[in-house]
Chains A and B, each alone.
Chain A
Amino acid sequence: MKKIVLLIGMLGLFLGISGCQNNLSDTLRIALDIEDEGRYDDLFTLFYETTGITVSATYGQDISKLISTPYEPDIIKTSTVLIDAMYQIFLDMTPLIDEDPDISLDQYHDVLIDALMIDGKIYALPTSINTSLLYYNKSLFDQEADAIRLALDLEPTESVYPRSDWTYDDYVKAGVALSKYQMVGGNRVYSQFGAETQLNWWGEWLVYLNHMGGSFYQENTMNRVTAITSEAAIQATTFFRQKSMGDASEKFAPDAIESASSYSFLSGNVGMIFGGHMGDWFSYDALGLDWDIQVLPTPVGRPDAQGGEISADAFGISVRSKKVTEAFMFLKMWAGEAGAIQMYENGKIGALKNMEALILALPEHQQKPINLSAVFQAAEIAITLPREKDFSKVMREMVMSEIYKLMYSGRGAETDVALVLSRIKTQVDQYYRNLYG
């Protein structure tokens, strides 16, 4: 018995010592998403070269679980959407920024700083923006050029690629021209589609909703009552549905089942996508897609409609960090011009106001062969998401899961858009009533 106790004691001591040793390393730790793997390595090298501090990242790991391990991050990712729910874990950076002559919040887009501020304090610095754009696959457009030309009534000399003045009509026509199918036993079996159907992200649907003059929440209800039974909402959802479920002259996007069996922009068999996440540039390049961007099309007769979304990835310093100075140095570099240029290589657009000028000043070979001005045009008119801490949860678990039912045929499917929307409204409003009375 004594021996056993002694043994356990020694084991405990040993483990204790080894546990402490792990914490002594002087590496700056950062927690990133799984898709970011390898993306910031150059940035880390740059920082090491200028300061001699090593930065090491974990990818896609739950931060709650990293806590108190040797991998606990000093710098944590957040965004304009998440900051409300997360800011308690971040150090208030306002005094650090005020004291530092090298950094000023004025250099960032005002809407983003507004979205990141809580009670006049700033907890995270924006490193890159995301904004909704129309992405298109150039090789598919080239391949179907004749069909598109015919559908859009274009001159032989005109480009078939999407234009900044496109309406939804043009979008539909080009989409249908891009879709190809064969009849197998009375069913249309598609081999390629004009556009992707995004059911895992609310953005596409919300863009249609906003573009058509609707909004998700009713005004002056503190974002607690939805407005999705409006005429605009029904119109937008019907458009979203027809795109996937319509007959041959309307359908140009996969339904939910077809999406599941690998029809996607990424797989190269879908021509266009409403993308909001610029991190995808990296993936598109990695897969060798020949792609470009354009501003979103607008509904017929509403060329000034606003609907695209703008948000920013931002990073803050963990309250538990013991390397605040180092972390702030790194963030300053990252959110500054040096970091922005470095990140542009990997398809991220910094949140700096002078970003366009910075890119244009780069040497020719560092420029990307894409229509960059579309990003800045889109960002100009884009709007931020409603500020409500359960917004993404509500969207994911109550809205998209119901809309999903409109997007396939067969068991459990729905066809009546108005009915589905009113059911969603009832549920979401009930949810907020339960929460806030």
Chain B
Amino acid sequence: MKSKNTFTKKAFMKDYRFFLMFAGISLVGFLLFYLYPIIRTLMLSFTDKTIYSLVTTRLGWDNYVYALTKDPLFFESIKLSLIFAFTSGIMVLITSLVLAMLLNQKVRFIGVFRTIYFLPFIIPSFAVGAVYKNLFHPTSGLINSILSFVGFTDLPAWYRTPDTALLTMILISSMGFGVKMLVFLAALQRIPEDYYEVARLEGATPMQQFKKITLPLITPMVFFNIILITIDGLKAFNLAFVMGNGQGFPANSTLLFPIYMFMTAFNMPFRLGYAAAMAYLFFILILVLTLIHFLLSRFYVEKDVS
């Protein structure tokens, strides 16, 4: 052991040189595409820079103050993003977990169901918006057709009115339970079969087996995933961009934060400075969530071991 740990200077230099030859480009990439943007965005966030401004003035903390105290759309978009991410996250989580547990049963045709649940993902995400708009269209859509067939009279206008537009988006993104289900299924299949066998030998009913084995083993994963999914959902762009015509249609009701930022930074008049400040505030939010996630995960991992 000892001899392996002590490097000769020559060996070290050789490895170091080879490392740079192989991975050097990633360090350059890190400098160009991560470090530079991080610093540049921070610098921009203290200015009123737009693509159309002839002179850029330094504003100090003004952009941050404006976002936090004067810009209702900033809070609105963060709020919508949180609602969207959390609700659709939980719905996907529960559906996919339940389905994964069902598919984990040794029933017939699992393969078929697995494929079916996965099928929505062969629709390219740029077409998803159009496909679901067709489905949810108040007059020519299948959903309302089914609802009225079942006997509902007061049919919602779904994505066309501010009341229900966000709900529609949550429902649509909840329909994407297929991928998460595959992930959970893999996790469930990793639970050693011995656990169940021992339980059966001790005379446990399937319900008891579920309560004593599956649930405790699954719970940490659920909590672990809620925050992870929420963080992902906060970054959701494609669906909201298509459903909201790129501007939170109708009437800012689907204006998720990434859309609002996109509009501010990359549409007329390209307020890069203000968008940069918002991006940093958003980053802080993500950091906080990640921290909570980190703390929770430690808590649950410990519990899992005991």
Contacts and interface: CB of A to CB of B under 8 A. Distances in A.
Interface of A: 1, 63-64, 67, 86, 88-89, 318-320, 393-394, 397-398, 401-402, 405, 408, 410-412, 427, 431, 434-437
Interface residues of B, number: 29
B237 to A, nearest CB: 17
A427 B251 contact: yes
A170 to B, nearest CB: 34
A64 B249 contact: no
A88 B251 contact: no
Interface string B247-274: 0011110000000000000111110000
B138 A398 contact: no
B162 interface: yes
Contacts of A89: 52, 268-269
B52 A318 contact: yes
Given A411-B155, A412-B155, A401 B76 contact: no
A394 B51 CA distance: 28
B250 A88 contact: no
A397 B251 contact: yes
Interface of B: 21, 50-54, 72-73, 76, 138-139, 144-145, 148, 155, 157, 160-163, 249-252, 266-270
Contact of B54 (A63, A319, A397, A408): A319
A402 B267 CA distance: 28
Nearest to A91: B54
Nearest to A401: B160
Nearest to B138: A412
B52 A398 contact: no
B144 A434 contact: no
A435 B74 CA distance: 10
Given A393-B251, A427-B251, A405 B157 contact: yes
Overall SS of chain B's interface = loop
Contacts of B144: 411-412
Nearest to B269: A88
A398 B250 contact: yes
6 contacts: A397-B162, A405-B157, A410-B139, A411-B144, A431-B252, A437-B72
Nearest to A430: B162
A88 B138 CA distance: 38
Overall SS of chain A's interface = helix
Q: When A and B form their complex, which 8 residue pairs have the shortest distance between CB atoms, in order from nearest?
A: A397-B250, A88-B269, A319-B52, A397-B251, A89-B52, A412-B138, A89-B269, A412-B155
Nearest to A90: B52
A431 B139 contact: no
Nearest to A5: B25
A319 B251 contact: no
A214 to B, nearest CB: 22
Contacts of A405: 157
Contacts of A397: 162, 249-251
A31 to B, nearest CB: 11
B51 A401 contact: no
A436 B51 CA distance: 27
A88 B271 CA distance: 10
Contacts of B161: 401-402, 427
A67 B138 CA distance: 37
A412 B252 CA distance: 23
Nearest to A86: B268
Nearest to B148: A411
B72 A435 contact: yes
Contact of A320 (B51, B73, B148): B51
A63 B139 contact: no
Contact of B162 (A1, A63, A408, A427): A427
A163 B51 CA distance: 52
Contact of A434 (B53, B72, B145, B269): B72
A411 B267 contact: no
B268 A64 contact: yes
Contacts of B148: 411
A1 B163 CA distance: 57
A67 B268 CA distance: 10
A427 B157 CA distance: 15
Given A320-B52, A431-B251, 9 more contacts: A88-B50, A318-B52, A397-B162, A397-B250, A411-B138, A411-B148, A412-B144, A427-B161, A435-B73
A73 B17 CA distance: 50
Given A89-B268, A411-B155, A412-B155, A401 B250 contact: yes
Contacts of B252: 431, 434
A411 to B, nearest CB: 6
A410 B160 CA distance: 17
B54 to A, nearest CB: 6
B50 A398 contact: no
Contact of A398 (B53, B54, B162, B267): B162
B73 A394 contact: no
B215 to A, nearest CB: 42
A398 B157 CA distance: 12
Contacts of A64: 266-268, 270
B51 A67 contact: yes
Identify the interface centre among A393, A412, A434: most chain B CB within 10 Å of its CB: A412
Contacts of B163: 427
A225 to B, nearest CB: 16
A259 B72 CA distance: 38
Given A318-B52, A431-B252, A411 B162 contact: no
Identify the interface centre among B53, B139, B251, B268: most chain A CB within 10 Å of its CB: B251
Contacts of B249: 397
Nearest to A436: B72
Contacts of A402: 161
Contacts of B162: 397-398, 427, 431
A185 B175 CA distance: 42
Nearest to B157: A412
A241 to B, nearest CB: 17
Nearest to B147: A411
A437 B71 CA distance: 11
A220 to B, nearest CB: 22
A434 B76 contact: yes
Given A86-B268, A427-B162, A408 B72 contact: no
Contacts of B54: 319
Given A431-B251, A434-B72, A411 B53 contact: no
